[in-house]
Structure 1
Amino acid sequence: MQKDYFKDLSEIKDLMNKSSRFISLSGLSGILAGSYALIGAGIAYLYILPSDVTIDHSANDSMIIYYLIVDLILIAALSIFSAIILTIKRAKSNEEKIWDATTQRLLLNFLIPLVAGGIYILIQAYQQNYSLSPALMLIFYGLALVNASKFTIGNVKYLGYSELILGLICAAFSGYGLYFWALGFGVLHIVYGALMLREEKRQ
Structure 2
Amino acid sequence: MLPSLAFLIVSCNLQPVSAAGTDVVSCVFPFVFDGRSYSSCTKDGAIDEQLWCGTTSNYDEDGQWKHCSLQEHGGSSGGQPCIFPFVYKNQTYYTCTEEENRGFWCATTRNYDRDHKWSYCADIRLDANPKGPCVFPFIYNQTSYSSCTTDGMSNKKPWCSLTNNYDIDLQWTYCEPSGGKRKRRCEGRWGPFDTPV
TM-score for the superposition, normalised by structure 1: 0.26
Which structure is higher in RCO with an 8 Å CA cutoff and minimum separation 6? 1
Q: Report which of the two has the higher share of strand.
A: 2
TM-score when normalising by structure 2: 0.27
